[in-house]
Structure 1
Amino acid sequence: MIDDAWEPPPVLLAVDLVILTLRDAHLRVLLVKRGIDPYEGALALPGGFLSHAGEGIDTAARRELREETSLDANTLHLEQLGVYGTPGRDPRGRVISVAYLAIAPRLPEPVAGTDAADASWQPADHVLAGELNLAFDHRQIVADAVTRARAKLEHSALATAFCSQTFTIGDLQEVYEAVWGISLDPRNFYRKVQKADGFIVPAGTEQRTTVGRPARLFRAGPNAHLSPPIVRPVDP
């Protein structure tokens, strides 16, 4: 039986965006410095509320990215990461946030806008270690996003997108080490890469080095999914 006096609870819908890239051989996350309360002056993920009742969630995510960082969301592949709605996560009331993830190479410097006082690429490992305090529950969202990114490197050829058109196995290993946050044994990594069918193919040339033998060059292969996957080793 429905109580005639029942009213739906007030709930606000928001979007948060985790944009990851590699810069200076480190995995970095796009953060903004909040220019308004709550948490004015604190670092946070770009995002915000839907602008009106008729705005789609995907549309809101792309709009917020453009407004707060000036990055063109049309050049990024945004995918839904998760829904975050723990009571008390936002002091303004009951806020449900749909988080989005994008992982892309060679992203430009962001430019802050609207309610963001600044925007910058920050080391993801500093966020995970608690060295950077983020507003709301954004540290947890970043942690979930990094976990997703690490899994993507296990099962997809995403890592080659962060390399030049031709690259060495060492270049590829640096990408995996940056995203996974661990050091890898070169021989073991080489063996795993070679076993992944269609992951990389020889480029037919070599890269001269100052010492030792010239390094073989490769390019991205035809397969987008790795079989067998390159599984992340357990942290030492």
Structure 2
Amino acid sequence: MDFADVSASERPYLPPAVAVSTVAFALNPPSGALVVGQGVRHDAAGESSATLWIPLVRRTRAPYLGRWALPGGPTRWDETLADTALRSIRAAAQCTPGYLEQLYAFGGVERSADAQRLVTIAYWAMLGEDDLSTAVPGGAEGGSTGASTAEQAGGRRWDDPRVDPPRAETGAAIDESGRADANVAWCSADALPDLAFDHSAITDYALARLRSKTEYAAVAHRFLGPVFTIGQLRAVHEAVLGYAVDPANFRRQILARGALIDTGERETGSPHRPARLYRFSNEAAPEFPDARPQPRRPA
């Protein structure tokens, strides 16, 4: 039922609409992606460290026309909540996350203003190097319905106007290099713009969940490839926890834990002395739930 078609006396009694919003974390934006903001954090002592990145979509309709928002939208009648989260990430990031977890339900009565009340189920995901290596900016992963990537990732809200604004007002474009829709951008999680709705609160909650993870090896294992250097592992540590660490102390402590195995190989293509490549031991490399959609059982 369309909210606009319901009388004012009936609107307070409509059941809430259900939507999904997803915060997808990555160590770096995919190659060729539109990037907004800086990817280096400076602490009080002036030390710099890497930050996490998340994809955002620009609102192409009122409310919050032109404002950045998290990928997501209403869940479809034939989708699970996780399916909706995965669809929105694929449309925005052009890849499938290796890890996806339900975060929290946001259902404050003040969220929807004068529109139909909306309950949003938030998810958070981790996009590793292997996940992003399959990303194809401007490609067909997000679908080929003719809608912009931002529209696919954000979905049509229950309170969107029925007539879309002129295309020129949205700023959407695909440049000559084939880069992704200009209404999709990767932003540093520590320097986000003012987001639409309560998406800033959702992002803060997701960051807190990620940084409170006690299984540090599990987080690092998901962001990195099968082999990595100590420096790359330290970058994950700094990006997730939000501060720089001493390289020598980090190396000594991480090796003392016995969670890493020296592969006997060194990285290639480095202008400096090639660093040793490590992998997690079987005990330190946890099993993760498969984020890919599972076949539906016949009714």
Q: TM-score, normalised by structure 1?
A: 0.75
Render the CA deviation track for 1:21-40: whole Å, top value 9, x for unaligned.
Answer: 01164310110001111111
Aligned residues: 210
Render the CA deviation track for 1:32-74: whole Å, top value 9, x for unaligned.
Answer: 001111111100001111233x5422222233334x426344x
State how far apart, in whole Å, the 2-side matches of 1:124 and 1:210 are. Answer: 30
Give the aligned partner of residue 233 of structure 2: 172
Q: Which amino acid aligns with 2:189?
A: A
State how far apart, in whole Å, the 1-side matches of 2:197 and 2:118 are. Answer: 11
Unaligned runs of 5+ in 2: 1-11, 29-38, 40-49, 139-148, 155-171, 173-182, 287-299
**RMSD after superposition:** 2.9
Gap change, CA 1:110 and 1:98, over 3 Å in 2: farther
Contact 2:228 2:278 in 1 (8 A): yes
Gap change, CA 1:15 and 1:163, over 3 Å in 2: closer
Which of the residues 15, 22, 30 maps onto 2:27?
Answer: 22
What displacement does 1:83 show?
A: 0.6
Gap change, CA 1:95 and 1:36, over 3 Å in 2: same
Q: TM-score, normalised by structure 2?
A: 0.61
State how far apart, in whole Å, the 2-side matches of 1:37 and 1:27 are. Answer: 29
Render the CA deviation track for 1:159-205: whole Å, top value 9, x for unaligned.
Answer: 144445443222211121122221102233223312434x3111124
Give the aligned partner of residue 144 of structure 1: 205
Which of the residues 96, 100, 110 maps onto 1:78?
Answer: 100
Contact 1:168 1:215 in 2 (8 A): yes
Which of the residues 82, 88, 105 maps onto 2:128?
Answer: 105
Give the aligned partner of residue 47 of structure 2: none
Contact 1:13 1:96 in 2 (8 A): yes
Higher relative contact order (CA 8 A, sep 6+): 2
Give the aligned partner of residue 85 of structure 2: 61
Which of the residues 167, 181, 190 maps onto 1:125?
Answer: 190
State how far apart, in whole Å, the 2-side matches of 1:161 and 1:63 are. Answer: 20
State how far apart, in whole Å, the 2-side matches of 1:178 and 1:220 are. Answer: 19
Give the aligned partner of residue 118 of structure 2: 95
Gap change, CA 1:155 and 1:210, over 3 Å in 2: closer
Aligned to 1:35, what secondary structure does the other structure show? coil
Unaligned runs of 5+ in 1: 1-6, 226-236
Give the aligned partner of residue 167 of structure 2: none
